Amino acid sequence: MDFDYDLFVIGGGSGGVRAARVAAGEAGARVALAEEDRYGGTCVQRGCVPKKLMVFASTYGVSAREAQDYGWTMMAGGFDWPSFRGKLEVELDRLEGVYRKILKSNGVETFDARARLKDAHTVELSTGETRTAKHILVATGGWPVKPEFPGADLAITSNEIFHLETLPKSMLIVGGGYIACEFACILNGLGVKVTQFYRGAQILRGFDDEARGLISEEMIENGVGLHLGTNVLEMKRVEDGIWVKATNGKEYTVDQVMFATGRAPNSADLGLEEIGVTLGRNGQIEVDAYSQTSVPSVYAIGDVTDRVNLTPVAIREGMAFVETVFKGNPTPVDHDMIPSAIFTQPEMGTIGLSEEAARDREPIEVYATSFRAMQTAFIGKPDRVLMKLIVSQKTRRVLGCHIVAPQAGEMIQLAGIAIKMGATKEDFDRVVAVHPTMSEELVTMRTPVRTA
Ligand code: NDP
């Protein structure tokens, strides 16, 4: 059968764009891509990129105060949100242009439209057109979800936070995951009075207990009003903001409320189930190790499959899909030992197993040190950092590494290479320390703090 294309990609985010351009540019496939919103997807338009720029913006106030303590004469004025937001919008437009250009220069035909699957080889566009393809790749990502309760519509999500007309004076953030914690720190750094509710006993569930404990302490020390075991019961608009009734019995009035209570796969109304694609309980597209769905011509990558929801993972999945389908080299995606960073203040860099997960699997040694870093200790700040290694007693391999410190994301990228290669504790010990740095502690910890 003759198809219009070899590949039709639905979704112009990091994963979809990478797969489309490599399939067209390197494998010579005839490729089309449909995107209903802005090119670049969550990472570029509503996530990692604008978030990281906001992280940078939010740290200058503290840096200015620290510079003063170091002897500089500094004038730390207020933060001008409209000026920053204007520059951010220009940057996001530029990046969208880059994505469009990459697709064009690789010969990918693009449709600024929503696409739905009509059958195993046909997509229907919101423009009314239909197109056929030998393979269809769904890369539609995810979307923030809010629980339902009275007044929930008054709250924004991370999608809206980058476009606020004015920076609120006070804000309630609900949730204890990556997004809630990162934005609590960002907004606090920008001078917003931040209250954060998390329903559980400690933020950042699933990460190493000692690491998340330290982040939580430091966030509180830096001024975030963190309330654990607390959730929202009801909200309503009042004259001076949004009134919130909490499960702790207290009432709050804030300018703005943001819910960061998780994200759901964007799989609704794509025609998936109608053509026989199996979805999981949370709406995620079920795929095998090669990202193939239950319909052989349809593949899916990225957050819509809810495997490891990170941009570089979606990109890997896109590349592996092209290797498998267009280069005749079946390539499963390796989801093991993925380093990642949480851009809280302080930052966390992490790879592998937490102490709690590791000790459930096998006997371990724990090497950890928490200390006041030279740069801030010098000016009398109480900030502490953490360097931690989890080591297998049997194989001596480093099973996990958790760093809480400024620039921890940069550190874990490099430590991650050795750990992914299977480095043992003794391999770490053989490396000479770089002095004076914080990360030198990773190669100088001689005695385990505990075994388990
Ligand atoms: P997460 O799933 O990480 O966190 C959701 C949070 O909301 C949890 O604390 C959860 O609590 C809480 N929650 C869920 N439902 C409710 C509810 N009904 N009422 C109150 N609280 C609720 O989602 P995020 O939105 O923070 O992030 C989504 C994904 O995006 C992450 O998993 C990550 O993969 C990715 N991401 C990665 C970043 C990075 O790499 N730096 C940055 C931002 C996002 P509980 O723990 O009790 O379930």
pLDDT attached to residue 108: 98
DSSP 387: E
Average pLDDT rounded to a whole number, residues 113-125:
98
Q: Quote the ligand 1 centre to 176 CA distance (angstroms).
A: 6
The superfamily CATH assigns to domain 152-261 is FAD/NAD(P)-binding domain (3.50.50.60)
| Residue 270, pLDDT above cutoff 80 | yes
Residue 217 buriedness (CB in 10 A; 0-12 / 13-18 / 19+): middle
- The Å distance, Cα 203 to ligand 1 centre, comes to 10
pLDDT at 135: 98
Position 75 pLDDT exceeds 90? no
pLDDT at 187 over 80: yes
The band of 193, judged by pLDDT with boundaries at 50, 70 and 90, is very high
Cβ neighbours, 10 Å, residue 429: 11
pLDDT tens across 345-368, in order? 999 999 999 999 999 999 999 999
> Is the CATH number 3.40.50.720 carried by domain 5-143+264-325?
no
pLDDT at position 134 over 80: yes
CATH architecture of 340-451: 2-Layer Sandwich (3.30)
Choosing from 146, 172, 179, 315 the residue with most ligand 1 atoms within 8 A of its CB, the one to mutate for a pocket test is 179
Quick one: what percent of the chain has pLDDT higher than 70?
Answer: 100
Annotated active-site residue in 163, 227, 402, 435: 435
Q: How far apart are CA 129 and CA 259, in angstroms?
A: 37
- What is the per-residue pLDDT across 278-320, written as a single tens digit (0 to 9) for each? 999 999 999 999 999 999 999 999 999 999 999 999 999 999 9
**pLDDT of 77:** 79
Q: Within 10 A of 141 (CB to CB), how many other CB atoms are there?
A: 27
The domain ranges of the chain are: 5-143+264-325, 152-261, 340-451
Q: How far apart are CA 390 and CA 432, in angstroms?
A: 20
Q: By 3-state DSSP, what share of the chain in percent is helix, strand and coil, each rounded to 5?
A: 35, 25, 40
Nearest to residue 79, comparing CAs of 162, 190, 189?
190
Are 174 and 258 in contact by the 8 Å Cβ rule? The answer is yes
- Residue 95 pLDDT class (50, 70, 90 cuts): very high
Residues with CB under 6 A from ligand 1: 147, 174-180, 182, 198-200, 205, 231, 260-263, 309-310, 340-343
Q: What is the mean pLDDT of residues 211-233?
A: 98
Cα 263 to ligand 1 centroid, rounded to whole Å: 7
CA of 3 to the centre of ligand 1 (A): 41
Please state whether beta strands 31-34 and 5-10 pair in parallel, antiparallel, or not at all (unpaired). Answer: parallel
pLDDT greater than 90 at residue 184:
yes
CA of 178 to the centre of ligand 1 (A): 6
Mean pLDDT of the region 181-210? 98
The atom number, within ligand 1, closest to the CA of 204 reads 9
Helix (H) or strand (E) holding 227: strand 225-228
Asked whether the predicted pLDDT for residue 371 surpasses 80, the reply is yes
Q: CA-based Rg of the chain, rounded to a whole angstrom?
A: 24
For the cut 80, the answer to whether the pLDDT of residue 195 exceeds it is yes
Q: What integer is the mean pLDDT of 410-425?
A: 98
Band the pLDDT of 73: cuts 50, 70, 90: very high
Residues 6+ apart with CB under 8 A from 131: 4, 5, 8, 32, 122, 123, 125
Tell me the average pLDDT across 361-377. 98
Nearest CA to ligand 1 atom 24: 262
List C-alpha distances in Å: 430 to 4, 240, 445: 58, 61, 12
> For a substitution probing ligand 1, which of 199, 230, 247, 315 has the most ligand atoms within 8 Å of its CB?
199
Annotation says 402 is catalytic: no
Substitution candidate for ligand 1 out of 43, 178, 315 with most atoms within 8 A of CB: 178
* pLDDT value of residue 66: 96
Q: What is the mean pLDDT of residues 152-168?
A: 96
Domains 152-261 and 340-451 share a fold: no
Q: What is the pLDDT of residue 1?
A: 74
In this prediction, residues 397-415 reach a mean pLDDT of: 98
Rounded Cα distance, 349 and 339, in Å: 7
Q: Which residue has a Cα nearest atom 41 of ligand 1?
A: 342
Q: Can you tell me the mean pLDDT for 366-379?
A: 98
The amino acid present at 112, given as its one-letter code, is D
